[in-house]
Chain A
Amino acid sequence: MSTTWHADPEALELYSAGHLDDVRASSLEAHLLACPHCRGAVAARVPRSQLDTMWNTIEDALDAPQPGIIELALLQLGVHEHVARLLAATSSLRLSWFLAEAFALGSAAFAAQHTAGTGAGGATLFLFLVLAALAPVAGVAAAFGPGVDPAYEIGIASPMRGDRLLFVRATAVLGASILIAGIAALALPDLDWTVTLWLLPALGLTLTTLAVATWLQPIAAACTVGLTWLVVAAASSVATTDPLAAFHVVGQLVSTLAIVTSVLVLAQRRSAYEGRIPS
């Protein structure tokens, strides 16, 4: 690797100062790649303080936490860095959460697939639809509040309106949840309109949870809304002997009504989030 020929000191001096002509500089640069001796000679001409400052910056960059898969994906999509960081800190926007949700919904869809046409077919389809509608509610509940939000204190102190980040996070949770449920729904026995029946209830339940959370803590709000939903869905299917009773016309209308009402409530009471529920 080392050669016996070395560049003359005058050329090294001129090169370091940026005054060596192109031809000799090219020749010297090719030589520098192969010669540790001459590299050492030019090294002395770069200010030590500059090198030290740059090294400190490098060490800082190495010590900085590496963004995870979710955060990198968000950055790739053009999401701002600070929003991506706060979203990635959301409990229900972690890979483990997505996997758990995919597993639960996948299992339900799988069960529905295998019991299709039998007596239990309606019950398993009911299970899938109820779970798919509940998934984003659980995600929203797991995203906020002390105890579940690892960025709780940071959120309180962040210079962003409390409700704004809440909505950003809720939208992200809802979007991811709908995507996963939508994929899982493809495994249902009949690919007809029944695979989309959970969509409006999911939206309605999530928005109702956010609206109720202007009065209650998010987890309490999610539990209240979720339990009510379970009781109503189960009761209606028992009362009408149709397992999917809660997903028919009346159910879809009620869901739409819940969406509209919740949006109005949120528009009115969004300031209730300020300071209480962290962004």
Chain B
Amino acid sequence: MTVRADGDDTLLAAVATGDREALAELYHRHAPWLVLRLSRRCADPGIVEEVVQDTFVAVWRGAARYRASGEVPAWIWGIGIRRLISRLRQRPAPIPRMHAHDTMVSAEDEVLISVEHGDLGAALGRLSPELRAVVQATVLDGLTTKEAATLLGIPRGTVKTRAARARRELREALA
């Protein structure tokens, strides 16, 4: 893989014209964080690999449809997370993702988090893991209720009630 200094937009435009090297460079830049970010949402490394591969094949075929500018990583993430969801939909019981909260968070860490992220971070940190997962899927990953339900392996109604509860708790914490 040769390293090119072009911006992501330029590379994507080159991919749209059939430039395989430009795709290689995009892969080189964006596959690693995609692997890590998807791994946090799916515990099966095999599925994550498949999804990343599918994503870049989709980038190759869909590069011509990319219109926005400067948001290539967000665009790639959008493809990746949706591929993951449709992949998870194929299996009836999704593998529960590993929860980072399994590791104990010391009181000192809690303070550091609230210092680093301010009130919102602390408020998010106080949510139960179930509520936090819903907030993460719907607000931070920008998924629809249906997509979040597939990703988290819970019914759609549950996503809605948990999202409502999370909103209420955050509002109280920030008031």
Contacts and interface: CB of A to CB of B under 8 A. Distances in A.
Interface of A: 1, 15-16, 18-27, 29-30, 32-34, 36, 39-40, 42-46, 50-51, 54-55, 57-59, 61-62
Given A15-B36, A54-B31, A58-B27, A23 B57 contact: no
26 contacts: A15-B36, A18-B39, A18-B98, A20-B100, A21-B113, A22-B99, A22-B100, A24-B113, A24-B116, A25-B100, A29-B37, A32-B33, A32-B73, A34-B73, A39-B73, A40-B29, A45-B32, A46-B36, A50-B49, A51-B31, A54-B49, A55-B1, A55-B24, A58-B27, A58-B53, A62-B60
Contacts of A33: 73-74, 77
A157 to B, nearest CB: 29
Interface residues of B, number: 43
A36 B28 CA distance: 12
Given A1-B70, A23-B113, A50-B49, A58 B56 contact: yes
B133 A22 contact: yes
Interface of B: 1, 20, 24, 27-33, 35-37, 39-40, 49, 52-53, 56-57, 60, 70, 73-74, 77, 98-101, 103, 105, 109, 113, 116-117, 121, 124-125, 129, 132-133, 136, 140
A54 B52 contact: yes
Contacts of B109: 21
Contacts of B73: 32-34, 39
Contacts, number: 101
A19 B57 CA distance: 30
Nearest to A32: B33
A39 B113 contact: no
A1 B40 CA distance: 25
Contact of B29 (A29, A36, A45, A61): A36
Nearest to B129: A22
Contacts of A55: 1, 24, 27, 31
B136 A26 contact: yes
A8 to B, nearest CB: 9
Contact of B117 (A23, A43, A58): A23
A177 to B, nearest CB: 33
A18 B100 contact: yes
